[in-house]
Amino acid sequence: MKQDNSGGTGIDRKLHDPIEDRLVPLEPIDLSEVQTINDLVEAMSKTAFTGRQLGEAADVLEAMARDKDCFVVMTLAGAMTVAKQGLIIAELIDRGIVNAIVSTGALMAHGLVEATGRAHFRYNPEVSDAELYEQGYNRIYDTLEPEQNLDDVERVMAAVLGEWEHGDVMCSYKLNHAIGEHLARHAKGRRGILKSAYEKGVPVFVPAFSDSELGLDVALHNRLRESAGRHRIRFDPFEDLEHFASTLLRQTRLGIFTIGGGVPRNWSQQFGPFIELRRRRMGEHVPLKRYHYGVRICPEPAYWGGLSGSPYSEAISWGKFVPPSEGGRFGEVFIDATVGLPLVVAAVLERLAKDKEKSSLRNKKEKALARR
């Protein structure tokens, strides 16, 4: 029986033409056309699901990298350095794409292992965790961190902390700067996040500093100082917050590149509310600033209700991000970062390199014409 349009049977629907509606058609991946990583990522952007997310994230990261007025904060959580992603992060710093780092302390500690020439190893599932403990191997999912590595990190920390004047209040970005300086002097020929950050003037913040091997090293060092009758080093995390806020306030536009979630993500994002509260509650004449760009690579879904899975749209309601209606651009990829990060970054670096090649060729042609 035929019903009227309000009955919901759809019999009298007027079907739209997707071309007239200007819908964007999808395209199959043609591997015969794929020659580079960027070719693959661009092809994936024209597909669906996580592949499309990956391509869109690369577009937003490219926009951040090309925007000369954009200051990019990279936030890091999870075992990225243990999982051998550290040189990707160092490359982003070296190329000037990332201007500040906010990280877990563990990630920086494990990165320090790499920067001092030590290695991580594959885990053999036939060996029990109890046996690993007895053998001095710390397991991180499918990878091992030998306890000896962390003892080596402690030696670096002892050298840095031994020179620290007790009157100089410590915070994480100051300590990471000092570690980077130590690496620049003593780890020549090796690459690492803190070394690159020191050489490029990129501050590295660790908001939950005591939750890390580096934090434990400072705690142990203070106990040694005390037992030797020396003054303890004072640590003030609010110096990190104030330096981070003052740095971001000086920028024209802000971007954030988030790997995982946790404290680094939230601490970085609450810059907007912090400035707004200073203005609204304290009457300070500070400009309201929010992130214009955002790229997030994290496999956690939103429905668990935790911060790691919350989308940028949610953060807009907190005053942390510029909404798309006002020019905000965001890309979110629900994938393991050991898969997503190399693909997205490699694609963007290829795009930027192609621009350099074109610019170099153009300059050569102009010089050749000028000589005629």
pLDDT at 304: 85
pLDDT digits (tens, 9 = 90+) for 319-348: 999 999 999 999 999 999 999 999 999 999
Q: Please state the φ and ψ torsions of residue 96, each to the nearest 5 degrees.
A: 75, 15
Instruction: Say how far apart CA 169 and CA 162 lie, in whole Å.
Output: 14
Q: Is the pLDDT of residue 370 over 90?
A: no
pLDDT digits (tens, 9 = 90+) for 24-65: 999 999 999 999 999 999 999 999 999 999 999 999 999 999
Q: Is the pLDDT of residue 361 over 60?
A: no
Instruction: Say how far apart CA 268 and CA 254 lie, in whole Å.
Output: 11
72 versus 362: the higher-pLDDT residue is 72
Q: Please give the structure tokens belonging to residue 179.
A: 């570690």
pLDDT digits (tens, 9 = 90+) for 174-228: 999 999 999 999 988 899 999 999 999 999 999 999 999 999 999 999 999 999 9
Mean pLDDT of the chain: 93
Residue of 147, 7, 95 lying closest to 353 (CA atoms): 95
The neighbouring-strand residues paired with 170 are: 235
Long-range contacts, 280-287 (Cβ 8 Å, 24+): 286/249, 287/249
> Could you give the 3-state DSSP secondary structure of residue 57?
helix
Rg (CA), the chain: 24
Distances (CA, A) of 137 to 7, 114, 125, 133, 140: 67, 16, 13, 6, 10
pLDDT digits (tens, 9 = 90+) for 76-119: 999 999 999 999 999 999 999 999 999 999 999 999 998 888 99
Angle CA(45)–CA(50)–CA(56) in degrees, nearest 5?
A: 40
Q: Is the pLDDT of residue 2 over 60?
A: no
pLDDT at 269: 96
Instruction: Say how far apart CA 192 and CA 16 lie, in whole Å.
Output: 55
Q: Please give the structure tokens belonging to residue 305.
A: 């209700």
Angle CA(84)–CA(111)–CA(332) in degrees, nearest 5?
A: 60
Q: Is the pLDDT of residue 244 over 70?
A: yes
- What contacts 32, CB < 8 A, 6 or more positions away? none
Mean of the pLDDT values across residues 129-154? 95
Q: Which CATH class is domain 104-236?
A: alpha beta
pLDDT at 1: 47
Instruction: Say how far apart CA 303 and CA 29 lie, in whole Å.
Output: 31
Instruction: Say how far apart CA 44 and CA 335 lie, in whole Å.
Output: 14
Domain boundaries, the chain: 104-236
Q: Taking the complete model, does pTM exceed 0.75, yes or no?
A: yes
Name the one residue in this structure whose structure tokens are 């499309």.
Answer: 52
